[in-house]
């Protein structure tokens, strides 16, 4: 295109691929049972997972030497958005590791229920698809407040290992109260065999759960980085 006597490259107005293209990627849930009013995919009830030796953030997997870890997504959603929109392209890479924790799509207090339900959907949909590819999958459980309890536990089989993250979620008194209430409801509804906790486990929040002795803590990347800095 010529503009003011100069040749200017044409702009590319083609639309970038979004999470809603192709009906939100129906291949992810082919063969899955859908439950609840939102139609949340149900993860397969298979016993191929274990309590992880360690966890690794998705953003670090390409440079990881130790593959005896479970990959997690406890980070800003933008860093794993491609896993939601092109899950099939990451299968071979994820298969190199012991397993995967399902994506931690953001759920916030006051966020529209339809968005929270969609994020719960993709948590389970990606997990279901990876299970079909033979990858051990541990469900990440995420809630906002009591209003999300109608759907945030859907699609997770009972009596399995589950994972949660406190990173950035227990800053205020209200946050800690919601965390306690949500954890109690998760234990009641899912009756997990083990609960993996990514991040801090302060007594104020977890003391009431100490009788439930199958909690396993994994330091966040933030904790690990700061420990290294303190030791230098």
Q: What is the CATH number of the domain that holds 162?
A: 3.20.20
Residue 183 lies in a domain: yes
Which range of residues forms the domain containing residue 67?
A: 49-231
pLDDT tens by residue, 147-189 = 999 999 999 999 999 999 998 888 899 999 999 999 999 999 9
Residue 2 lies in a domain: no
Kindly report the pTM of this predicted structure. 0.87
First to last CA, the chain: 57
User: Could you give the percent of the chain with pLDDT greater than 70?
Assistant: 87
Residue 11 lies in a domain: no
Lowest mean pLDDT: which of 12-16, 47-51, 62-66, 214-218? 12-16
Q: How many domains would you assign to the chain?
A: 1
Residue 38 lies in a domain: no
Q: Determine the Cα–Cα distance for residues 127 and 137; give it in Å rounded to an integer.
A: 6
């Amino acid at each position: 295109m010529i503009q003011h006597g100069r040749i200017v490259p044409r702009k590319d107005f083609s639309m970038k691929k979004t999470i809603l293209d192709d009906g939100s990627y129906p291949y992810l849930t082919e063969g899955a049972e859908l439950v609840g009013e939102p139609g949340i995919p149900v993860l397969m009830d298979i016993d191929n997972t274990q309590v992880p030796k360690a966890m690794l953030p998705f953003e670090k997997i390409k440079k990881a030497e130790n593959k005896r870890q479970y990959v997690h997504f406890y980070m800003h959603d933008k860093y794993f958005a491609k896993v939601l929109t092109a899950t099939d392209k990451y299968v071979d890479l994820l298969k190199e590791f012991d397993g995967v924790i399902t994506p931690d799509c953001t759920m916030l207090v006051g966020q529209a229920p339809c968005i929270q339900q969609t994020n719960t959907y993709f948590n389970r949909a990606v997990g279901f698809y990876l299970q079909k590819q033979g990858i051990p999958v541990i469900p990440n459980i995420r809630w906002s407040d009591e209003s999300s309890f109608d759907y945030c536990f859907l699609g997770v089989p009972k009596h399995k290992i589950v994972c949660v993250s406190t990173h950035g979620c227990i800053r205020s008194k209200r946050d800690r109260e919601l965390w306690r209430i949500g954890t109690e409801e998760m234990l009641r509804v899912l009756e997990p065999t083990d609960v993996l906790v990514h991040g801090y486990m302060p007594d104020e929040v977890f003391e009431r759960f100490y009788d439930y002795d199958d909690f396993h803590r994994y330091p966040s990347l933030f904790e690990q980085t700061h420990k290294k800095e303190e030791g230098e």
